[in-house]
Structure 1
Amino acid sequence: MNNFINDNFLLQNHFAEELYHTYAAPQPIIDYHNHLPPNEIANNRTFDTISQVWLAGDHYKWRAMRALGVDENFITGSASDKEKFLAWGKTVPYTLRNPLYHWTHLELKRYFDVDELLNDKSAPAIYEEINSQLSKPKYSVHGLLNQMNVETLCTTEDPTDSLQYHREIKASEFNIKVGTAFRPDKAILIDSETYNQYIDHLAEVSNINISSFEDLKSALLNRLDFFHENGCRLCDHGLNYISFTEYSDIEIETIFDKKRSGKSLTEIEAEKFKTAILLFLCEQYHLRGWVQQFHLGALRNNNKRMLSKLGPDTGWDSIGDYKQAENMSKFFNTLDGKDHLAKTIIYNLNPADNEIFATMIGNFNDGSVKGKVQFGSGWWFLDQKDGIIKQINALSNMGLLSCFIGMLTDSRSFLSFPRHEYFRRVLCNLLGEEMKSGELPNDMDLVGNMVADISYRNAKEYFNFK
């Protein structure tokens, strides 16, 4: 039987096969950005059903099920775990040519050694078979991560987080390094309806009364120091775009006071504030030697009716078409002009902007660090084969693919790590096809070492992971 997920899945010639099996596959995984729950890592959570670990929280799958007309009760509602799995099994055959079809069968094969295609007929038996295995240690959270040869992973936390679970993980005997990334979006987005409530919470956690912009900076410094003391060396920002509007210090104090008094801000006022607070934070990242990340371009929470029922991160987001280049240039130039630009990764969600991002990094790679400013891997809607190839091609054409720090999951699921394999196979096939056509030299060691660098070694060096 020629199983769908076989040894040479996605690999179209012998060059691609050798690149993958010899140079990519043996490399450990560094997943330097995800949203995994650290409490479940600390507690080494176990799962009673496959639905708990595979379907819960996965809005990629939820969107596909909704498109097929599956009732919400079988997606996020009160249906049983089995009913939800059967609904997903019924949906899978309709995901042909969607990356979900590949990811689904990669995950079934890699974690559970299931070769059978998932559909409405096979779903009941697959559900029972996998559930019968879940009590084994290899299917606890620690076991799942070790199965995928994960060496290091980095979750994402708000500045108000206690980092209790990260401290517990560090004190345990768990063999995988687990870090955190500082995500201060809620302190930046002053036009949010819940901004004042968040600032009150930040004040409580930092034990600083926040009545002025200077107080806000002091509170954030308090949390930056706390995160740094607990091993944090990365930050992340999920923004539509990087703001840049000229401002004065007096203006920022006035804008902050206006917001704290419950008054509405103009769009220009909000942009000035976002510029000021983000510049302040980025200078602090540089001072501490952190890596800063910017995930740009998502248009979030489009369906207000469903958002009110289910809340954010439940599948109502899409790609935005924001202007990116000019503000990004001015923002980075302001930091670079003071020599305060930290190592930086910019992630693009609109494929029309790939070349903009790929050329922007070259403006601020000053020779001080290999690949100091990175064009991050295709993310969210672009972490599929076509999106991966387009990002690789843009980076190759405009910069140095050889300096690229590779893939990440950006996921909330412990079963998402085969996406690293998926990325590596796509990369190896792309390069293998060009070796076959003569566009790249027939030098396996030359091309293969670049593959190994992108798969693992560049990220290990870039983040100074030991």
Structure 2
Amino acid sequence: MKSNTTIQSVNGRKALIHSGFLLENRYAEELYHDFASKMPIIDYHCHLSPADIANDRVFDNIAEAWIHGDHYKWRAMRTMGVEEKYITGGAADVDKFRKWASVVPYTMRNPLYHWTHLELARYFDEYKLLNESTAADVYEATSGLLNTPEYSCQNLLSKMNVEVVCTTEDPIDTLEYHQKMKQNGHVLKMSTAFRPDKAILIDNQAYNDYIDKLEEVSDISINSFKDICDALSKRMQYFHSNGCRLSDHGLNHMYFEPSTDQEIDAIFKKRRSGNSLSDSEALKFHSAILLFLAEAYHDLGWVQQFHLGALRNNNSRMNNLLGPDTGWDSIGDFSQASALSRFLNALDEKDKLAKTIIYNLNPADNEVMASMIGNFNDGKVKGKMQFGSGWWFLDQKDGITKQLNALSNMGLLSCFIGMLTDSRSFLSFPRHEYFRRVLCNILGDEINRGELPADMEWIGKMVQDVSYYNAKEYFEFL
């Protein structure tokens, strides 16, 4: 066995983050160190700023890179009674960092505790535990490094061996930063995913304002259902010409409600005239436009992604104050199976079902999703239908393990396309290492118990496929 046995230490004691972190036996260590650890990263879904990547932003300090925009940390800080001025407010960055450092010891058993120390170790070679007493030293050391060209956004990604990063953009986006990145010829590939949810959710209060913007960018007057389809088609072609090969949707649940073309056109014109819709009318429109988009994705050869199960903006008072994506969302308990089955089947009946990734936020539905994908693998593409990795509240050890177990029991782990960050933070990429360590430990434990053969070359190859090669084969990034 060739695995790395180096043990990092702090003041003579083994550091939390060391070579055997999360790896409970020699098989797990061998699988991770000899097979998984050196694999490049294809991060096929995230919310990083394309402008920051293309302009190669250099952060002023660790709080700017680490706390700004991270609603995982914000929720923990609020739970500990930290005032909002130290979270999203106007407090100095150094004070925000000190507040976060004082909270970290109380996050034990939350994934934030592992992520925090893994990120400090991998980016800054910092193995001290972060707390109130170490905050000043860690802030000074990490900020001193971040405020240099060697720690620019592109170099932060390079340090983690990121080969492809795929951001997420609205149809009205210009993609100017993706174009700039391509023109610069950087070895890092930055692609995008097309996310047209604002065009789908016709019952949103600001829907007509959004359609006005879509009109402007597409140069198409949008007065009918055909018009909106034409405008979205034009934007899809624009995205495709700029290297886009994925779509993405963040929905409570899948929509499927049959209707006629005449009904949908009347519904759209009613809303465009400023009138409100019934729940039934909105559902019919959601279904019709989503089916139109899904067929278009198939024709373009794209991968479609569906993030299902989030109950968003629960705290109306704070949502009104701070806006969406600031930490007021949770897991929903929506009915998923029936509409999802009918939606996928309607596409499959026409042979218009694109490669599809379904992400589930409610662990109670893991087996539902893992079994659903098997209904629509038609033998044309390896792993055509994917049960996506644990995301958001589930991208932690327990959530990852449950997702991998459900997938293994209901489908084929060997065809899985692996982890993604789904993050807004440039320091979040050690989550790929976290996932790989969990994966290797699951397999190593079963080898150790005699449930899998000790065929390290074959199982090691499977680990490499799940970590990198399956995603490389599945996606077609230009």
TM over 0.5: yes
Identity %: 66
User: What is the CA–CA distance in structure 1 between the aligned matches of 2:271 and 2:148, rounded to whole Å?
Assistant: 53
Structure 2 residue 146 is matched with structure 1 residue 104: no
Report the CA distance between 1:430 and its aligned residue.
Answer: 0.6
Deviations 1:109-163 (A, max 9, x none): 0001111000011001111111222233321001100000000110000000000
Deviations 1:378-401 (A, max 9, x none): 000000000000000000000000
Q: Which residue of 1 aligns with 2:25?
A: 13
AA aligned opposite 1:44: D
**In the alignment, which of 27, 31, 35 is matched to residue 39 of structure 2?**
27
Deviations 1:58-116 (A, max 9, x none): 00000000000001010001100000000000000000000000000000000011110
AA aligned opposite 2:323: G
**In the alignment, which of 139, 154, 158 is matched to residue 151 of structure 2?**
139
**In the alignment, which of 386, 392, 395 is matched to residue 374 of structure 1?**
386
Structure 2 residue 186 is matched with structure 1 residue 174: yes
1:189–1:274 CA contact under 8 A, matched in 2 = yes
**In the alignment, which of 338, 348, 353 is matched to residue 336 of structure 1?**
348
Deviations 1:6-34 (A, max 9, x none): 01100000000000001100100000000
Report the CA distance between 1:363 and its aligned residue.
Answer: 0.3
Structure 2 residue 476 is matched with structure 1 residue 461: no
2:245–2:476 CA contact under 8 A, matched in 1 = no
Structure 2 residue 34 is matched with structure 1 residue 39: no
User: What is the CA–CA distance in structure 2 between the aligned matches of 1:143 and 1:39, rounded to whole Å?
Assistant: 15
2:77–2:87 CA contact under 8 A, matched in 1 = yes
User: What is the CA–CA distance in structure 2 between the aligned matches of 1:89 and 1:214, rounded to whole Å?
Assistant: 54
Q: Which residue of 2 aligns with 1:362?
A: 374
Q: Which residue of 2 aligns with 1:353?
A: 365
**In the alignment, which of 67, 76, 79 is matched to residue 55 of structure 1?**
67
**In the alignment, which of 196, 208, 214 is matched to residue 208 of structure 2?**
196
Report the CA distance between 1:264 and its aligned residue.
Answer: 1.2
Q: Which residue of 2 aligns with 1:450?
A: 462
Structure 2 residue 317 is matched with structure 1 residue 305: yes
Deviations 1:266-317 (A, max 9, x none): 1110010011000000100000100000000000000000001111000000
**In the alignment, which of 306, 331, 338 is matched to residue 319 of structure 1?**
331
Q: Which residue of 1 aligns with 2:399?
A: 387
AA aligned opposite 1:330: R
AA aligned opposite 1:428: C
Q: Which residue of 2 aligns with 1:217?
A: 229
Report the CA distance between 1:465 and its aligned residue.
Answer: 4.4
User: What is the CA–CA distance in structure 2 between the aligned matches of 1:199 and 1:134, rounded to whole Å?
Assistant: 40
Deviations 1:163-190 (A, max 9, x none): 0000000000321011000000000001
User: What is the CA–CA distance in structure 2 between the aligned matches of 1:26 and 1:125, rounded to whole Å?
Assistant: 31
User: What is the CA–CA distance in structure 1 between the aligned matches of 2:146 and 2:255, rounded to whole Å?
Assistant: 47
SS of the residue 1:152 aligns to: strand
User: What is the CA–CA distance in structure 1 between the aligned matches of 2:333 and 2:248, rounded to whole Å?
Assistant: 21
**In the alignment, which of 279, 288, 294 is matched to residue 267 of structure 1?**
279
Q: Which residue of 2 aligns with 1:439?
A: 451
AA aligned opposite 2:288: A
Structure 2 residue 315 is matched with structure 1 residue 281: no
Report the CA distance between 1:212 and its aligned residue.
Answer: 0.7
AA aligned opposite 1:302: N
User: What is the CA–CA distance in structure 2 between the aligned matches of 1:135 and 1:362, rounded to whole Å?
Assistant: 49
SS of the residue 2:306 aligns to: strand
Superposed, 1:78-89 pairs within 5 Å as: 78-89=90-101
User: What is the CA–CA distance in structure 2 between the aligned matches of 1:138 and 1:361, rounded to whole Å?
Assistant: 43
Structure 2 residue 267 is matched with structure 1 residue 247: no
AA aligned opposite 1:253: D
AA aligned opposite 1:250: Q
AA aligned opposite 2:183: A
User: What is the CA–CA distance in structure 1 between the aligned matches of 2:145 and 2:389, rounded to whole Å?
Assistant: 34
1:138–1:147 CA contact under 8 A, matched in 2 = no
Aligned length: 466
SS of the residue 1:57 aligns to: coil
User: What is the CA–CA distance in structure 2 between the aligned matches of 1:89 and 1:143, rounded to whole Å?
Assistant: 25
1:380–1:410 CA contact under 8 A, matched in 2 = yes
1:187–1:195 CA contact under 8 A, matched in 2 = yes
User: What is the CA–CA distance in structure 2 between the aligned matches of 1:151 and 1:55, rounded to whole Å?
Assistant: 25
User: What is the CA–CA distance in structure 2 between the aligned matches of 1:343 and 1:406, rounded to whole Å?
Assistant: 15
TM-score (norm 2): 0.97
AA aligned opposite 2:136: P
Q: Mean alpha-carbon deviation: is it higher for 266-275 or for 131-140? A: 131-140
User: What is the CA–CA distance in structure 2 between the aligned matches of 1:413 and 1:351, rounded to whole Å?
Assistant: 25
AA aligned opposite 1:217: C
**In the alignment, which of 162, 173, 184 is matched to residue 161 of structure 1?**
173
User: What is the CA–CA distance in structure 1 between the aligned matches of 2:150 and 2:22, rounded to whole Å?
Assistant: 27
AA aligned opposite 2:175: L
AA aligned opposite 2:373: I
Q: Which residue of 1 aligns with 2:130?
A: 118
1:179–1:231 CA contact under 8 A, matched in 2 = yes
AA aligned opposite 1:376: G
User: What is the CA–CA distance in structure 2 between the aligned matches of 1:103 and 1:138, rounded to whole Å?
Assistant: 22
1:321–1:350 CA contact under 8 A, matched in 2 = yes
User: What is the CA–CA distance in structure 1 between the aligned matches of 2:50 and 2:349, rounded to whole Å?
Assistant: 38
Q: Which residue of 2 aligns with 1:420?
A: 432
User: What is the CA–CA distance in structure 2 between the aligned matches of 1:219 and 1:433, rounded to whole Å?
Assistant: 52
Deviations 1:199-236 (A, max 9, x none): 01100110111011111111101101100111111000
